[in-house]
Structure formats: C-alpha cells, structure tokens
C-alpha cells in the first residue's frame, strides 16, 4: 500500500483523535496530563526544539512513561558507548525526571511532539534523526508516516501488543499494514507479541525478551532506608505498589482484616499516581486507620497503620522495606504493572488476574513459584496472611522470583544485535566526521 493511500485512510485521525486508533500515545498523553506538565517546556509538544541539534548523527529514542524509560536506560547507555548522539523523548514529567536522574546531560531530553503533522514536521525538521527507536507499544500514525516519507529507519524495541490493542488493530487490518510496513524492524518481547506483529504486516520481526529484565534494581538512598527500618523495627510488613483507583482501599481493608492476627502490622501503599495522595490519605484515615505520608516526612510511629508512599523515584526504598508485594492495576483496573522490579528485589509477588500487559513476565514467575494471582480482596488477604505466617514458603517465593529474573536476562544483548545494522553505519559516519573535524 502506498504512503498516499495510507495518509488518506488515516486522515480522519487528525479529527477523531487518538481514541479512534489503538496504541496512539502522544495526543492522549497530552490531553490527560494537561495541568501536570512542565509549562516552561510546553512548546516542545508542538515540535519546537528546546535545544540546538548537535553535530553528527542523531538517534531519536522514544519511551512514553516511567516504566518504558527505565527499561530503555541500559539500551541508551549501550548506544552512547558507540559515540552517537541521542535525543530521548518521553511523554510525562515523571519520566523526564527519571531520564534526568539516570542519564543526565549524556542525552538530550525533549517532550514528544503531538502526533499532528505540523508538530511532527517541525520536530523532524530540527532534529533530522538518522534512526528512530520506539519503545514498547507507542504507535503514532502521523509520526510513522512522516518518518517513512523521509526514509528514516524506524525500529520498535521491546514491542508488545495487549489483547485489546491487537483486537483493535485486527479490525483495521488495512490501516495496520499501511503503518507497520513503514517499520524497518520490530523487536518483540515474546513469541506471542512477535506473531501478532507479523500478522499485522510487520517485517522483519525478531523476539528479544523483555528489556525490563535487564534493568538494574531500582536505587535507594541507604541513609533513608536505614532510618525507616529503625522506625519500623521488627514489625511485620507488606506492600501494595503501583496501585490504581480502588486498590488502595482494598489494601487498607486487607490491613484492617489482618492487623489483629499480626501484631504491629504495617501496610505500605504506593499509588501509581502520587498526585492522588491527598484524597487517599483522607479516605484511608476515614476508615479509622492512621496514615504516615512519605512526602510529608511523617515518622512511622508505633501506631501507624499505613505508610503512604506518595513520592516519585523511591520504589527501591519501599520494596526494600518488605518481603511481600501486591502489584496493582490488576484487581480494579486491567493490564497490570511490571512485576520484575519487586521480584529482583527479593520480594514475593502477588497480583490480581488482569495482568495481560505483562503476560510473559507473570507466566514465568507463576511457573517458577515466584508469584501468585488472587481473585479479589478476600483472596489477597488470605495470601498475605499465609506469607506472613509461613516464613519458609515466603522465602521460597522470594528466591524463585530472583532466579526467574536472572533466567530472563539477555534481552538487551539480543536487542542490540537486531539494532546493529542500523547503528553501525552511524558509528562509522560519526567517527569519520570526527576525524575530518580534526
């Protein structure tokens, strides 16, 4: 199918918005994050560059949110070792903060432009990328077509297609084919994802595994960790992390059900979106539970029931305070969140049954005994109670999780091998330019 035909088929996208097409990221991210964005850099959303373009080849890498950004950090660092410039775009303020903390001025960070032709054209005119690498599941019709028209190779890495997204694309098979034929390569997370991309017209497709398994454990400030451990003492703990609306109340209810059985029980609740903390604190306090907010520096007292982890970038702290973690967006919401971080930090993993977005990771953890799925609040309470009571079973789950993550490693090396034909010419170009410059 021609680029002209694909543009005609996708012209409605400009007017219908991203809701008409699955996996379309920048427009939705902008619409849902207004008021929470970096106002001083809003022009970047319209493709207006905040920095000059460096000399030599440029690779554009995009990672939508925090999870994707963390996943691509090792990949970015490996490419930087080749001496090629990288422009990294993300869609949220929190992911921008993660990029700054972990990569600093080694890369140029920009907010991703809206998937509208003027914004995309302005962005591409300025940065003139030699290669575009997109992480996970961000498919933007206008951006893909504009890159294709400029003959810029596009590679999707850590690619995945959820059940819902795949079903939506299958209903628009002609549009999917017109888009995916623009991709030079798809590096998929799993065999299932790879087959789905192939059925939608992507060629070639290879399978790497999940880049998240090759990331380092989330960092921690050891002094803060030691302080909180002193405050907690020998109290039993469990955590509900990356929770979505409704799951925080479930965690509080589980605490109320278990605290008499487990004297001094402390429940750690880490909402996926800390901006909800004020309302959550009021709601949980209204249940008769005493809440300490991490963002306020509240001390964990002997009668504290809930530590509300309402900060950004401290998941490594919260996970090191417990040996049991329920991973959210899996009971009251769908899709799940990444279970590999708690698993690699020696934590027994629990989750609801709606974990489609991390199917491969959960399946590996379930098969090894490193994770268990629960149906509802009562089943979650039973699982937490069992693990608090049975130290041997808890430690077996913890060890199985660590071993599973170790077995899953290797995605980074496989991804770099797939990217080599696209990166090596840029490395040569960069070195030649450097030599001529001298």
User: How many other β-carbons are positioned within 10 Å of the β-carbon of residue 28?
Assistant: 16
Active site residue 68: yes
- Please check whether residue 11 lies inside any domain of the structure: no
Confidence check: pLDDT of 27 > 60: no
Classify residue 342 as exposed, middle or buried by CB count within 10 Å of its CB (0-12, 13-18, 19+): buried
- Please check whether residue 438 lies inside any domain of the structure: no
Dmax (CA) for the chain in angstroms is 74
> Same domain, yes or no, for 200 and 318?
no
Peptide bond into 392 cis (omega under 30): no
Confidence of residue 365 (pLDDT cuts 50, 70, 90): very high
Q: Which of 277-281, 336-340, 379-383, 426-430 has the lowest mean pLDDT?
A: 426-430
> Same domain, yes or no, for 308 and 347?
yes
> Same domain, yes or no, for 105 and 63?
yes
> Same domain, yes or no, for 328 and 418?
no
CATH code: domain of residue 297? 3.40.50.2000
Confidence of residue 435 (pLDDT cuts 50, 70, 90): low
Q: Which pLDDT score is estimated for 434?
A: 65
> Same domain, yes or no, for 228 and 119?
no
Please give the average per-residue pLDDT across 360-370, as a whole number: 97
Question: Which CA distances in Å does 226 have to 222, 233, 318, 416?
Answer: 6, 10, 12, 38
Please give the average per-residue pLDDT across 189-212, as a whole number: 96
CATH code: domain of residue 119? 3.40.50.11720
Percent of the chain at pLDDT exceeding 90 = 84
Q: Phi and psi for 279 in degrees, rounded to 5? A: -65, -40
Tens-place pLDDT, residues 244-275:
999 999 999 999 999 999 999 999 999 999 99
Q: Which pLDDT score is estimated for 220?
A: 97
Confidence check: pLDDT of 228 > 60: yes
> Same domain, yes or no, for 264 and 229?
yes
What is the span of the domain harbouring residue 384? 222-408
Q: Which of 36-45, 127-136, 203-212, 348-357 has the lowest mean pLDDT?
A: 36-45
Percent of the chain at pLDDT exceeding 70 = 90
Select which of 68, 248, 314, 360 is catalytic: 68
> Same domain, yes or no, for 178 and 326?
no
> Same domain, yes or no, for 152 and 190?
yes
> Same domain, yes or no, for 371 and 227?
yes
> Same domain, yes or no, for 226 and 328?
yes
Please give the average per-residue pLDDT across 64-93, as a whole number: 95
> Same domain, yes or no, for 81 and 184?
yes
What angle (nearest 5°) sits at the alpha carbon of residue 225, between those of residues 214 and 330? 55
Number of domains observed in the structure of the chain? 2
User: How many other β-carbons are positioned within 10 Å of the β-carbon of residue 113?
Assistant: 26
Pairing of strands 108-111, 131-135: unpaired
> Same domain, yes or no, for 185 and 285?
no
Confidence of residue 5 (pLDDT cuts 50, 70, 90): very low
């Amino acid at each position: 199918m021609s680029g002209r035909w694909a543009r005609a088929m996708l012209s409605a996208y400009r007017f219908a918005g991203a809701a008409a097409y699955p996996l379309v990221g920048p427009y939705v991210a902008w619409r849902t994050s207004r008021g929470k964005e970096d106002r001083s850099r809003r022009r970047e959303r319209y493709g207006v560059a905040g920095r000059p373009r460096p000399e030599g080849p440029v690779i554009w890498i995009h990672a939508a949110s925090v999870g994707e950004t963390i996943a691509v950090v090792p990949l970015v660092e490996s490419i930087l070792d080749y001496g090629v410039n990288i422009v990294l775009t993300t869609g949220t303020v929190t992911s921008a903060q993660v990029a700054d903390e972990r990569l600093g001025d080694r890369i140029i960070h920009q907010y991703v432009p809206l998937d509208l032709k003027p914004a995309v054209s302005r962005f591409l005119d300025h940065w003139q990328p030699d290669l575009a690498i997109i992480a996970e599941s961000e498919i933007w019709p206008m951006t893909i077509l504009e890159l294709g028209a400029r003959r810029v190779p596009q590679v999707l890495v850590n690619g995945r297609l959820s059940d819902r997204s795949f079903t939506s694309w299958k209903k628009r098979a002609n549009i999917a084919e017109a888009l995916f034929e623009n991709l030079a390569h798809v590096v998929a997370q799993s065999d299932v994802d790879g087959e789905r991309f192939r059925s939608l017209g992507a060629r070639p497709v290879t399978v790497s595994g999940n880049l998240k398994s090759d990331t380092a454990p989330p960092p921690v400030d050891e002094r803060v960790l030691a302080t909180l451990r002193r405050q907690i003492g020998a109290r039993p703990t469990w955590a509900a992390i990356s929770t979505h609306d409704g799951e925080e109340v479930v965690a509080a209810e589980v605490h109320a059900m278990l605290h008499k059985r487990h004297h001094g029980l402390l429940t750690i609740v880490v909402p996926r979106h800390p901006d909800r903390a004020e309302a959550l604190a009021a709601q949980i306090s209204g249940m008769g539970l005493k809440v300490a907010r991490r963002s306020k520096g509240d001390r964990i007292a002997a009668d504290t029931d809930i530590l509300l982890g309402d900060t950004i970038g401290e998941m490594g702290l919260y996970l090191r305070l417990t040996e049991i973690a329920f991973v959210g967006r899996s009971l009251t919401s769908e899709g799940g969140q990444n279970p590999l971080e708690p698993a690699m930090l020696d934590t027994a993993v629990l989750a609801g049954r709606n974990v489609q977005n991390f199917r491969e990771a959960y399946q590996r953890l379930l098969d090894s005994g490193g994770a268990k799925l629960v149906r509802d609040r009562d089943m979650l309470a039973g699982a937490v109670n069992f693990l608090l009571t049975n130290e041997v079973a808890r430690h077996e789950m913890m060890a199985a999780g660590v071993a599973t993550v170790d077995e899953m490693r290797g995605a980074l090396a496989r991804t770099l091998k797939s990217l080599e034909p696209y990166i090596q010419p840029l490395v040569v170009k960069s070195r030649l330019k450097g030599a001529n410059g001298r």
